[in-house]
Amino acid sequence: MAAVRLSEAEKVYIIHGVRDDLRLDGRGCEDYRHMEIETDVVSNTDGSAKISLGHTDVLVGIKAEIGKPKPMVPNEGYLEFFVDCSANATPEFEGRGGEDLGVELSNTLYKAFNNRRSVDLRSLCISPGEHCWVLYVDVLLLQCDGNLFDAMSIAIKAALFNTRISKVQISEDDEGGKEIELSDDPYDCMRLNVENVPCIVTLCKIGHRHVVDATLQEKACSLASVLISVTHRGTVTCVRKMGRGSLDPESIFEMTEAGKRVGKSLHAPLMQLLQEEESLGKKRQKVGFLG
Amino acid sequence: MAGLELLSDQGYRLDGRKASELRKVQARMSVFAQADGSAYLEQGNTKALAVVYGPHETRGSRSKSLHDRAVINCQYSMATFSTAERKRRPHGDRKSSEMSLHLKQTFEAAVLTQLYPRSQIDIYVKILQADGGNYSACVNAATLALVDAGIPMRDYVCACTAGFVEDTPLADLCHVEESGGGTSLSLALLPRSGNIALLQMDARLHQDHLDTLMEAAMTASKGLSKVLDSVVSQHLKEVSVLTRD
């Protein structure tokens, strides 16, 4: 991620603050920054969402295409993730500079999201063994101020909620091959059930305590962090320890417990917000970046 | 091209515009707090985001820096979901490299680079949605971003595309009109002096029509410059209210 240079005195200041449950911007250790979410910002995608978490800006676009299912699971579709760390975030990402980080982010997203329980992959099947829907989830990183995984997972969940996949009918044509017909009505589409889509929570260990939603400055003071992906029921889909330091088992246990608690409480307000946005329907004023 | 009339008998185009009408332009400056300058611009359905970093010390090899002026470094990239068919690579292909060079050439003509010797100005443009006029939207967004970054320029740089159908020039082409195989001319203009920073034309055109086509593109660009100017003054009003004591 974009590196920020911090002096020793600043690091000590942050560590002492965290010890007293007070961070640089006045938050507690388990508080998120101000979050703004908007769906349907890019009109030629099947689903999109934009999130601003403090100074971290992420844009997710989902395109659904028809492809061949994987041979091991012929009656399921699948998701493909691609994270583009654009040069907008920092000049270091110019050219191929952002590729390493992008690959690392998309691999973690695969682990957290691409399983049968998160998204109902069977609903993406068109005809077993031959055709299925492939959802290309493209994440665009626009501004980077720490906590990329959380922002990306919330944006992905919002974008999946917003995704509209056209209904298709299979018909047999003259030679016995299958023909796929798209329905004429553009509003006749299938929505995905995002109840079980997890949200990722990253906890960074600073001093003896851990913080949720660390900014770049706080990340510079922490040696290790734990990433945990939690569904609304509290089921964990992925746990990962990142960073160059080592953690003792006690801290990992504490951090996973805190992560589960925080993650569980993210889902309800998010779904409520998405339902409210959806209920506004055509009357909703699309703001995007113009607001 | 059967069945697809770019200009109907009543003088209306595919999206209902008249021949010399521009698409709706909406823009906003300072979208990102971390960059030195940023701007977002929508020209119809084409959405472009421009970010400027600099002037700063030349990154990478020292040999790239020039002793008497600043180096302008541009990167043009498209989001993978920006086009109707999903794009596999956001940048690095030939078209993106060519566009980056064009942008560099355009802004070297406008930015007062002699004021910053041995430094570098980075301009990164991202297309979020492509519906024709990608280059023009990039140039317009990048102009606003440079203004937002406070980098001195000779003039605004405004760009627009123009096409030619049945003796009528069309201003500000959308994707369907561009890819139809007809003429498409891109022009980047410095409005006050009327100087042209970049001129590019694809497809065949009779030499008699070239003047009318260029005139149409220049008029459209001048119209765009008024829009950009109003965006900048609006932004200044908002910012001055916030910073006023």
pLDDT mean across residues, chain A = 88
B34 interaction partners in chain A (CB closer than 8 Å): 55, 89-90, 143-145
Interchain proximity B81–A55, CB inside 8 Å: no
Query: How many other C-beta atoms lie within 10 A of the C-beta of residue A140?
Result: 30
Strand pairing category for A236-243 and B25-29: unpaired
> What percent of chain B has pLDDT above 70?
98
Strand pairing category for B168-171 and B158-165: antiparallel
**B30 at interface of A, judged by CB pairs closer than 8 A:** no
**Burial (0-12, 13-18, 19+ Cβ within 10 Å), A108:** buried
* Token pair of A94 as six digits: 């110019």
Could you report the per-residue pLDDT of B99-128, keeping only the tens digit for each?
999 999 999 999 999 999 999 999 999 999
Per-residue pLDDT band at B1 (split at 50, 70, 90): very low
Q: Nearest by CB to B81, which of A61, A88, A96?
A: A61
**B61 at interface of A, judged by CB pairs closer than 8 A:** no
Per-residue pLDDT band at B2 (split at 50, 70, 90): very low
The phi and psi torsions of B184 (rounded to 5 degrees) equal -145, 120
Could you report the per-residue pLDDT of A52-95, keeping only the tens digit for each?
999 999 999 999 998 989 888 888 889 999 999 988 888 888 88
Mean pLDDT of B147-155: 95
pLDDT at residue A126, rounded to an integer = 86
**B86 at interface of A, judged by CB pairs closer than 8 A:** yes
Residues lower than pLDDT 70 in chain A: 1-3, 174, 176-177
pLDDT at residue B226, rounded to an integer = 94
pLDDT at residue A1, rounded to an integer = 47
Mean pLDDT of B25-35: 93
ipTM above 0.90, yes or no: no
pLDDT at residue B245, rounded to an integer = 58
Interchain proximity B32–A59, CB inside 8 Å: no
B21 contacts: CB under 8 Å, gap ≥ 6? B171, B172
Quote the minimal CA–CA distance from B115 to chain A in Å: 22
Could you report the per-residue pLDDT of A88-134, keeping only the tens digit for each?
888 888 888 888 999 999 999 998 888 778 888 888 888 888 889 99
What predicted TM-score, i.e. pTM, was given to this entire model? 0.91
pLDDT at residue B31, rounded to an integer = 93
pLDDT at residue A2, rounded to an integer = 54
On whether the CB atoms of residues B192 and B216 are closer than 8 A, the answer is no
pLDDT at residue A80, rounded to an integer = 92
pLDDT at residue B107, rounded to an integer = 95
- In the β-sheet with A199-206, what is the strand arrangement from edge to edge? A209-212, A199-206, A224-230, A236-243
**B82 at interface of A, judged by CB pairs closer than 8 A:** yes
Residue by residue, DSSP assigns A147-161 as -HHHHHHHHHHHHHH
On whether the CB atoms of residues A182 and A166 are closer than 8 A, the answer is yes
**B176 at interface of A, judged by CB pairs closer than 8 A:** no
pLDDT exceeds 90 at position B228: yes
The phi and psi torsions of B43 (rounded to 5 degrees) equal -120, 95
Could you report the per-residue pLDDT of B66-102, keeping only the tens digit for each?
899 999 999 999 999 998 888 888 888 898 999 999 9
